[in-house]
Amino acid sequence: MPDQLSNRTELKLRDVESASKMMRRYYRTVKETMRAMAGYLPAMRWWPGKKLLARHIWLDSLHADMLRLRTLDLRYPRVDVEDNADVSLLFVLEKIPTAPSDELFLHCVYDVIKPAMLEALEEYLQVSDPLDDAPSHLYLKRIIDELNMQLHEYEGIMRESSRAADEAKNSDWLSAVSGALSSCGGFHGPDAQIDPRSTAVLEGLVYELPMEGGRDLSWEPAVTQVSPRPARNFTEEQIAVAVDHANEVWASETPAALIWEYKNMPWELYLGAARWCYDEIRHATMGVERLAALGLEVGVDYPMVPDHWRAFRARGVRYLLLLLHRLEQGGPRHKSNLKTKFIEKNDLAAAQDCDYDWADESGHISYGVAWLKAVFPEWSKQQTIEEGNKISSEWSHWIGNHHKNGTHGYEGFLERMDKKLTASGHSTDI
């Protein structure tokens, strides 16, 4: 028995201080990569890529949360995981959203960073005692499984895409990021000075959030997501609700933008915003899939546009948050009523979509309250209510004016939609 214990210790020797520093570096890597993905999500034009990012931002927030908890478990000094250590690593990760294109951004995240992170976590487990460090094994095994799932999902959308990977082979930017990650100590650490050749390429690059959310270049543009023609029958009511769902992309982009825009906020704010970001892209996908079942194609028969951002982005991301929160406050009641109506009309798929949307929005309201307190600390509760009502009214007028002036850009969509519905046997008669 003593020999067995001795062998286990010799083979799996790592003290708590070393483990905690490594765990903290993993946490910062996942957290800052997640923030970079959130920052880039509004700019991402490619629809499959935008959906992928939103889902993986949420998964990565759960992984970062586990790594953060484990770091605190491991007697980390001052129980502080947000100190100024690992500065070279953080410098590199902050440059990820400066990628020159969607393709290079995805290549950097999914062909460079995540595979390297996967390798680092697997190496940690290989030389970590499964008894002494058992909680780390439990967390890391889950993270490894889900990282593999993320890479599989990425490969799936790339296989279905005609997007060329040749750009990555000749990219000075990507070479600089890869070189900087290697020279700064990788994901194990310890942190080291970055190779000056990589620093020279990356030093002056600063990412700024776009003024409006990116949309797929293959889609026909419009100004408003809301049709200027009121629904004339139940089929058109179904379509209007689905189009509204499809256009909740802006509501995914807004919490993502908060994650990037506001650095060094309390961790719980990022955790909530990551879930919020994913929920809203799910809602958008609900709409896209319901409309596809009717034979209607996004960007061809109905628009997906960043109109909320066009109207208010110039005021700052926090005003988009204010608008989103104000609109979502009426969401649970509205979606509950829609659920009842769709059940009465025997559209059970739409009813279920609204049911889950309703459940999600109830949680989003609490996220919105927390973020508003953080970004408008000087506002009282009453002022927050008044400002929310004001911006909601402005939004209604913005839409109404475009409808009134005929600048909505919806005519072609209505024409194509009516033709397809008629051809497929879905009546558009009043």
Q: CATH second-level architecture of 7-202?
A: Up-down Bundle (1.20)
List of residues 6+ apart from 61 with CB closer than 8 A: 34, 270, 271, 274, 275
Main-chain phi, psi angles of 380, to 5 degrees: -80, 170
The rounded percent of the chain whose pLDDT value lies above 70 is 93
pLDDT tens for 127-175 read 999 999 999 999 999 999 999 999 999 999 998 776 655 666 678 999 9
What's the pLDDT score for residue 362?
86
The residue behind tokens 């959310």 is 213
CB 187 within 8 A of CB 26: yes
Main-chain phi, psi angles of 195, to 5 degrees: -55, 125
pLDDT tens for 186-218 read 999 999 999 888 888 999 999 999 999 999 999
What's the pLDDT score for residue 80?
75
* Residue ranges, CATH 1.20.1260, the chain: 234-424
Q: What's the CA gap between 176 and 199, in Å, rounded?
A: 7
**Residue 428 banded pLDDT, cuts 50, 70, 90:** low
What's the pLDDT score for residue 4?
44
What's the pLDDT score for residue 429?
52
Q: What's the CA gap between 313 and 92, in Å, rounded?
A: 28
Q: What is the mean pLDDT of the chain?
A: 92
What's the pLDDT score for residue 166?
63
What's the pLDDT score for residue 167?
65
Q: Is 6 a residue whose pLDDT tops 80?
A: no
Question: Nearest CA to 269 among 377, 184, 352?
Answer: 377
Distances (CA, A) of 331 to 23, 62, 356: 40, 26, 12
Q: Is 233 a residue whose pLDDT tops 70?
A: yes
What average pLDDT does this structure show over 235-247?
95
Q: Where are the beta strands (DSSP E) in 124-191?
A: none
pLDDT tens for 269-293 read 999 999 999 999 999 999 999 999 9
Q: What's the CA gap between 394 and 390, in Å, rounded?
A: 6
CB 143 within 8 A of CB 119: no
| Topology adopted by domain 234-424 | Ferritin (1.20.1260)
List of residues 6+ apart from 55 with CB closer than 8 A: 153, 278, 281
pLDDT tens for 42-98 read 999 999 999 999 999 999 999 999 999 999 999 877 667 887 789 999 999 999 999
List of residues 6+ apart from 235 with CB closer than 8 A: 421, 426, 427, 428
Dihedral sign from CA coordinates of 192, 198, 200, 203: negative
What's the pLDDT score for residue 1?
43
More confident residue, 158 or 429: 158
Q: What's the CA gap between 99 and 205, in Å, rounded?
A: 9
**Residue 319 banded pLDDT, cuts 50, 70, 90:** very high
What's the pLDDT score for residue 298?
97
Q: Which residues is 302 bridged to in the sheet? A: 298
| pTM summary value | 0.94
Written as six digits, the tokens of 315 are: 């005021």
* Residue ranges, CATH 1.20.910, the chain: 7-202
Question: Nearest CA to 256 among 49, 57, 107?
Answer: 57
pLDDT tens for 21-43 read 999 999 999 999 999 999 999 99
Written as six digits, the tokens of 238 are: 């179904």
Question: Nearest CA to 33 among 259, 370, 358?
Answer: 259
Q: What's the CA gap between 290 and 302, in Å, rounded?
A: 12
What average pLDDT does this structure show over 219-235?
94
CB 136 within 8 A of CB 124: yes
What average pLDDT does this structure show over 357-384?
95
